[in-house]
Structure formats: C-alpha cells, structure tokens
Amino acid sequence: MLLSLGCKTMREGVIATIIFFIAGILLILASVNIVPVFWHLNHIIMLSGFLLLLLSPIILVSTFLLSVLPDAKERMEQCNH
C-alpha cells in the first residue's frame, strides 16, 4: 500500500512540504547568522537546510503524481473538503 493516496495522505504530503520548506529556510538563516564557524558546523547545518529545501518540492511533486493515477480520482471524490 505504498502508492495508496487518500484524503489523509494528501493533507500529510502538503503539510510535510510546508514544514520541510520552513525548516530548511530557518536552518539556512541560522547557519549564516547564528552558528559560529566551529569545526565547519555552519556548513553542516546549511547543507541540512539545503537538503530540506530540496526534499520539499520532491514530496509535493510525488504527491501530485500519485493524485493523477487512474484510481486516485475515485478515492479523492469521496473526500470531505
């Protein structure tokens, strides 16, 4: 059931995208402004922020691609918006 998409998983995909995007921006800003240059810790935190920024559209696109599968339309019509 890895490729099952319902109302709950659609909402979870969008919420996870928003959380990853905001967390990525906050980590990048923190690494630039707050974290001291100590054992290249600022670069490690910036890399993790960039990874979160990279994962956010990947999650959103994969959720969209799951929603355009043939069986997904019938399941999505049963959702209460």
pLDDT in tens, 22-76: 999 999 999 999 988 888 899 999 999 999 999 999 999 988 887 777 776 676 6
Length of the chain, in residues: 81
- Two tokens, residue 6: 């319902």
In a domain, 31, yes or no: yes
pLDDT (0 to 100) of residue 45: 93
Structural domain harbouring 33: 7-70
Residue 15 buriedness (CB in 10 A; 0-12 / 13-18 / 19+): exposed
In a domain, 16, yes or no: yes
pTM listed for this prediction: 0.79
Q: How many domains does the chain have?
A: 1
Give the Cα separation of 3 and 70 in Å (integer): 12
In a domain, 81, yes or no: no
Residues with Cβ < 8 Å from 26, sequence gap 6 or more?
A: 49
